[in-house]
Amino acid sequence: MKVVLIDSGGANIGSVRYALERLGVDAPLTADANVIRSADRVILPGVGAAGTAMALLRDRGLVEVIRGLQQPLLGICLGMQLLFDASEEGGVECLGLLPGTVTRMRGGEGIRVPHMGWNTLSPTRTHALLDGVPRDGQAYFVHGYCAPVTDDTLATCNHGQTFAAVVGRGNRVGAQFHPERSAEVGARLLRNFLSGDLA
């Protein structure tokens, strides 16, 4: 199986590659449209600002490439947020593969933003991406913006507000948390993405 990581300029790419290597998968980092189109699985990682990442994807001519992918696509952290229509972070138009707008987390008394650390996943429906993930599974989050809970939400999390932690529509799926830093829960999600029929 050919798996590739889209070079979106994210700082977490090295750790994602290492997590995949632990699963026996060598996933090269690429901005080559032909390499991306020919892959069996595509991962869009990301750490940073939505506007910066989208500008980089546009500059590299990858926005329409990603929008046109038919094979399974996994967005991680910012990469998941980029799957949505837009983000309040810089007021940027995103990929539009999932409906909704990513918004800044509200915070509040005792609620720190960015949301950093372990938190509980609450699955909302059965899906191949979450096969074997316990209902109270813990995952590691680092983010200050969050995606809305919609019909495409597969699992939620709560940090001062309920937000989408895992999403999916057909072959387009995403995780707000960092599977590469989420121990067995993260490894299970990656294995499911690599082996499962997501549609």
Residue numbers annotated as active site: 77, 178, 180
Q: Which of 64, 24, 7, 41 is nearest to 171 (CA)?
A: 41
- What the block records as the tokens of 169 is 């529509």
Residue 135's alpha-carbon distances to 112, 120, 121, 155, 157, in angstroms, are 25, 8, 7, 9, 11
Task: Name the CA radius of gyration of the chain, rounded.
Answer: 15
Cβ burial, residue 136 (10 Å; 0-12/13-18/19+): exposed
Could you tell me the end-to-end alpha-carbon distance of the chain, in angstroms, rounded to an integer?
18
